Amino acid sequence: DAGVTQSPTHLIKTRGQQVTLRCSPKSGHDTVSWYQQALGQGPQFIFQYYEEEERQRGNFPDRFSGHQFPNYSSELNVNALLLGDSALYLCASSFGAGGGNQPQHFGDGTRLSIL
Amino acid sequence: GESVGLHLPTLSVQEGDNSIINCAYSNSASDYFIWYKQESGKGPQFIIDIRSNMDKRQGQRVTVLLNKTVKHLSLQIAATQPGDSAVYFCAEIPNDYKLSFGAGTTVTVRA
């Protein structure tokens, strides 16, 4: 039973570029959430997708956007990259419309470095 | 603003001893709490959860205690092992689906 998988594992970009990160949820899960984790910090919520719609959003600018596909997989897009976007980007999946009371399971993340 | 926080950023424990990791939360609307373990280079791993209608829940070698009166959460690890060395996060979910994490406690197990 595959857990949450993310790709790529590492990525290096330069300022101003755009990046797309990908996530496949755990089997049986239909809800995907994205988090940004800076070094030495806890993960910060970016947004959550359910039924291909963005359901909740954290305090991140519009440069951060996402998408969920009919097979529940998801993408995170970041435009006009800044040095401060360097972080570990985590995807978490869970089940059900009431995502607030179901455990979210995380992938191992994509390490994004901005030069 | 409201946040989840851990009392101590680091904890050193002797192998075989019990560990207690504490967490204070401030959002009284939170009704679901999760403890995660994060090892270097990996994503957070689910350990145990607890809902606000409970004050204690036990898993394998772990116990979570919830005190809603003082908004306090703790994770107890029995017979701590070297493999328990990691960063531990408590996370709360108010009724809006967003997991809110504290900064974490780094647990180091001494042989």
**Tens digits of residue pLDDT in B77-108:** 999 999 999 999 999 987 666 788 887 999 99
Which A residues in the span 34-93 are in contact with B, Cβ-Cβ below 8 Å? 35, 40-45, 48, 55-56, 58, 90, 92
- Gyration radius from chain B CA atoms: 13
- In total, chain A counts a number of residues equal to 115
Residue B3: pLDDT band (50, 70, 90) is: very low
- Average pLDDT over every residue of B70-79: 95
B67 CA to chain A: closest CA distance, Å? 18
Check: CB of residue A104 under 8 Å from CB of residue B43.
no
Q: What is the DSSP letter of A25?
A: P
Check: CB of residue B84 under 8 Å from CB of residue B110.
no
| pLDDT at residue number B102 | 81
Best to test chain B binding among A36, A37, A89, A91 (most B CBs inside 10 Å): A37
Low-confidence ranges of chain A (pLDDT < 70): 1, 97-100
Residue B2: pLDDT band (50, 70, 90) is: very low
| pLDDT at residue number A71 | 96
Tokens standing for residue A63: 């440069």
Check: CB of residue A94 under 8 Å from CB of residue A104.
yes
Tokens standing for residue A7: 């790709």
Q: In B26-99, which ranges are E strands?
A: 32-38, 45-51, 56-58, 62-67, 72-77, 86-93
What SS3 class is residue A50?
A: strand
Of B36, B51, B100, the CB nearest to A101: B51
B12-47: pLDDT as tens digits: 999 999 999 999 987 888 889 999 999 999 999 999
